[in-house]
């Protein structure tokens, strides 16, 4: 729109004003003073009425100026403009602080909503595993069927991603208490202690732009809660928000596995990636041709009761899951160990049925069996300290439980009947074993885009 065709000096003639109105085709002219400030408005109707009374075509247009007109400044909201146009105001001049005309709004020329800078965010939950551990390893289910039961809970890894206008990359991790800065993607791939997983995820994505990535988690590292897969998923979630062709849940889980297992070279199973991406309480089957995730639909009463019957206990020790899985791979050559995993898978099917039928105490006893099977898979899974924690918990009300993750440290999950729960909590507190309250998380990886706030 040509703004000059709407402006005329207050000394100009009515004849010139009518020519400008004819030119802009909007039936109106804005009258300006010597400083180009808009001091009034005149419509073709205003001019006709003046000509009929006491003016002629050579008279000054300033005589026709309506100085009580509606205008808006540059900060006006679209909502306000729309409401004024809806009130039958046909044209709205937008004026700056000096009252100079900077834009004109009509119903056919509303300001375009310019794209603002955005950032993406995501969060992905950790999981507690109940049974079938060891059978989600590829070297096991390449010759047999693997099966596990797990549930996501209310601890998360969080990620925020901002795009840059250059190729530089900046990654900050509160978990690592460190930052990584690079001039470009190639530079980012230079190994740096602690950032191996993050670098592997970025290598999987291969973004062609610079970015700033901030990461933090609600849980400690090496906790047995599947944390590395959770961090990987949260990063993938942020980048997925920028794609037109979004990765689906299976693809996200596969990418997380690819980053950790293939690129970073850490031994481990498949359940952590699927658990954090899909979320909820699930029975998972692992086969070479495909992995299947079956949500377990418990009644709300049974789900709440299961949640209340579980205690998450921090052993105050960490573990190296890769080393344990490497040992398990070697042990799997032993036929007796393979039979233990098969028995664990069979038990996992029984635990699935117990949950679906609401036989929660039976499920608690099955947790105990699952732990006995698991600790026989490798000498690195348990030790005297962990055995004592578990045996003492059984002596103080728990009927079952297991160490989460690969083993060697991290968290225990205990199943305790309601009549014994306070006794067990008191025992754990007395022995300086921290319990962490949690709730089941029905959703997995979540990601969203937010417009950068204007300062």
- Which amino acids are annotated catalytic? 272
Alpha-carbon dihedral 191, 194, 199, 200, rounded to 10 degrees: 100
How many CA atoms, within 13 angstroms, populate the side-chain half-sphere of residue 186? 0
The H or E element spanning position 117 is none
How many CA atoms, within 13 angstroms, populate the side-chain half-sphere of residue 141? 25
Instruction: Kindly tell me the sign of the dihedral angle through the C-alpha atoms of 234, 246, 182, 192.
Output: positive
Q: Looking up tokens 């096991």, which residue turns up?
A: 140
Six token digits for residue 430 = 């007395």
* DSSP E strand stretches across 164-269: 169-173, 178-182, 211-217
Six token digits for residue 66 = 């309506």
Comparing CA positions, the residue from 178, 201, 186 lying closest to residue 124 is: 201
Residue 23: which residues within 8 A CB-CB, separation 6 or more?
Answer: 5
Comparing CA positions, the residue from 162, 156, 161, 190 lying closest to residue 175 is: 156
Instruction: Tally Cβ neighbours within 10 Å of residue 70.
Output: 11
How far apart (Å, rounded) are the C-alpha atoms in residues 410 and 225? 8
């Amino acid at each position: 729109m040509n703004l000059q065709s709407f402006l005329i000096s207050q000394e100009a003639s009515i004849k010139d004003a009518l020519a400008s109105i004819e030119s802009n085709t909007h039936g109106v002219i804005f009258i300006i003073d010597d400083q180009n400030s808009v001091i009034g408005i005149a419509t073709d109707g205003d001019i006709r009425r003046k000509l009929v009374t006491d003016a002629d075509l050579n008279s000054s247009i300033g005589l026709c100026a309506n100085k009580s007109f509606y205008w808006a400044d540059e900060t006006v909201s679209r909502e306000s403009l729309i409401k004024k146009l809806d009130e039958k105001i046909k044209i709205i001049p937008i004026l700056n602080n000096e009252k100079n005309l900077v834009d004109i709004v009509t119903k056919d020329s509303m300001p375009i909503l310019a794209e603002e800078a955005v950032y993406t965010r995501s969060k992905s939950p950790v999981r507690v595993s109940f049974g079938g551990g060891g059978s989600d390893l590829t070297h096991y289910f390449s010759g047999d069927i693997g099966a596990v039961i797990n549930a996501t809970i209310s601890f998360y890894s969080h990620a925020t991603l901002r795009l840059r206008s250059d190729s530089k990359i900046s990654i900050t991790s509160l978990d690592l208490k460190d930052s990584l800065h690079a001039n470009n993607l190639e530079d980012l791939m230079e190994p740096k202690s602690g950032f191996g997983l993050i670098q592997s995820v970025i290598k999987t994505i291969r973004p062609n732009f610079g970015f700033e990535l901030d990461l933090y988690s609600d849980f400690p590292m090496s906790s047995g809660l599947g944390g590395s897969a959770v961090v990987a998923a949260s990063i993938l979630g942020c980048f997925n928000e920028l794609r037109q062709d979004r990765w689906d849940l299976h693809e996200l889980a596969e990418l997380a596995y690819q980053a950790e297992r293939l690129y970073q070279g850490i031994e481990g199973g498949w359940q952590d990636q699927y658990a954090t991406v899909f979320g909820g309480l699930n029975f998972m089957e692992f086969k070479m041709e495909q992995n299947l995730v079956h949500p377990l639909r418990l009644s709300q009463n049974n789900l709440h009761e299961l949640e209340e019957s579980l205690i998450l206990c921090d052993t105050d020790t960490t573990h190296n899951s890769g080393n344990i899985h490497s040992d398990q791979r070697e042990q799997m050559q032993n036929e007796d160990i393979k039979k233990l995993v098969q028995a664990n898978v069979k038990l996992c099917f029984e635990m699935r049925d117990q949950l679906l039928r609401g036989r929660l105490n039976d499920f608690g006893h099955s947790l105990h069996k699952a732990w006995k099977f698991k600790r026989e898979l490798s000498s690195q899974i348990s030790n005297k300290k962990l055995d004592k924690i578990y045996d003492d918990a059984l002596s103080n009300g728990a009927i079952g439980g297991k160490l989460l993750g690969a083993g060697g440290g991290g968290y225990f999950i205990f199943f305790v009947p309601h009549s014994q729960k306070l006794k067990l909590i008191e025992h754990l507190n007395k022995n300086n074993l921290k319990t962490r309250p949690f709730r089941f998380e029905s959703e997995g990886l979540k990601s969203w885009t937010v417009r950068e706030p204007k300062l």
